Each structure stands twice: as structure tokens, then as C-alpha cells.
Amino acid sequence: MKLLIADDEPAVRALVHVTLEGDDYEILEAADGVEALEVARGEAPRLVLLDIMMPRLDGLEVCRQLKADPDTSDIVVVMLTAQAQERDRDQGLAAGADDYFTKPFSPLALLNMVERVRHNQSGAD
């Protein structure tokens, strides 16, 4: 299963890498919003992990554009944010995100969530 991690922080991308390592995931990376949109459109991943605070284009906008495009609206979007306020979560959900992780997050919880998505996909297939 293809998934995309978009975060301007390389260490966070590394953490996701390490978390999902060895479970047959194809992990794509993007360092900013624009790159994230390009990769998502080009590679059509099943899941996108989106940081909200990113250079050039923030995660909320990326999410909105993905959900607005029929080609990409099926992609499961999970927001990753350092902002814990309710307002941010609501904004994320309003932008069409499917789930929400607040930093610091548990890598195992992320893994569970990703596997659930994969399971749903296989079930649906």
C-alpha cells in the first residue's frame, strides 16, 4: 500500500518511516504542501499523513484540494499537527480530513490506524 507523509520536518518523516518499516508499505515523502499535492496527484497513495504547518502550502489547504478533486477525493487524509486546540481539529475536519493526530502522537497508534485503513481497503477490494 502506498502512503504519503508530508512534513517539513525530516525527523518526523524519519519517524513515520521507522514506524511503518518492514510492513510492506511504500512510503512517499514530501517536505512542503506543494510537493505533497504533486506527489498525491502523481502517485495516488491510499493514505496521506499531512502536517498542517508546512512551507508554501499548509496541510489544511492540501487536504481541501485533495478532497475537492474527484481523482484524489478517495485518498484517506489524516492530519498531523502540533496544534492541539479544538479549533485546529475542527478546521481539519472541516477541510475534509478523515482523522486527526496530535503531536506528540504514539507511533503504534499510527500504525494501528494505517493497518485499519489497509484492512478496509482489502475488505473493500
Partner 1 sequence: MRRLRVQLTVLLALLGMLVLAWGAAIFLGARDAARSSASIQSSVDRVDELRQAATGLSREFVAMETSRRAYLLTGDRASRDARARAEVRAVEGFKRVSALSERWRNLPPLVSDVAAEYRAWVRTGQTELKARRRGAAAAALVASRGNADKHFRQLWALQARLEDQLARSQYSYARNQDRTYATAQALAVRTALMMLAALVLLAVWLRRAVGAPADALRSASGRLAGGDLETPVTLDVDNELGAVASDLETMRRRLAGRMEALERLRHLSAQVVGATSLQRLTEVALAGLQPEVGATRAILGAARPGGDLVLRALAGFPDSGVADDIVKADAEIRHVLPVGSLRAGQVVGLADLDEVAATTALHELVGKMGVRSLALVPLLSRGRFLGLLALCWTERHQLDREQEALLGLAGNQIAGALEAALRLEEAERAAGEARAVFYAIADGVLLTDPFGRVTAMNRALEALTGWTETDARGRPYAEVLPIATDQVGGPADLVSRYGRRVPVAVSSAPIFDARGRVVGGVDVIRDVSREREIDEVKSALISTVSHELRTPLTLIHGFAELLVLRDMPVERQRSSAVEILDASRRLARLIDDLLSVSRMESGRLVLDPRPLDLASVVERILSPFRAMAAKHTLRTKLPGSLPVVWGDPDKVEQILTNLVGNAIKYSPGGGEVLVTVDQDGDTVQVSVRDQGIGMSPRDMGQLFEKFYRVDREEVRRTGGTGLGLYITKRLVEMHGGRLWAESWPGVGSVFRFTLPTTSDELAGSGR
Residues that bind partner 1 (CB under 8 A): 8-9, 11-12, 14-15, 18-19, 21, 32-33, 53-58, 82-85, 103-108
| 21/125 with CB nearer partner 1 | 21
d(CA 18, CA 103): 17
HEC-encoded secondary structure of 42-99? HHCCCEEEEECCCCCCCHHHHHHHHHHCCCCCCCEEEEEECCCCHHHHHHHHHCCCCE
4 vs 12, beta carbon nearer partner 1: 12
SS3 4: strand
Output the smallest distance, CB 52 to partner 1, in A.
9
Residue among 54 and 75 whose Cβ is closer to partner 1? 54
d(CA 112, CA 95): 23
- Least separation in angstroms between residue 98's CB and partner 1 is 20
- Smallest gap from Cβ 124 to partner 1, in A, equals 29
> For residue 108, what is its C-alpha cell?
503504534
Q: How far is the CB of 96 from partner 1 (least distance, A)?
A: 20
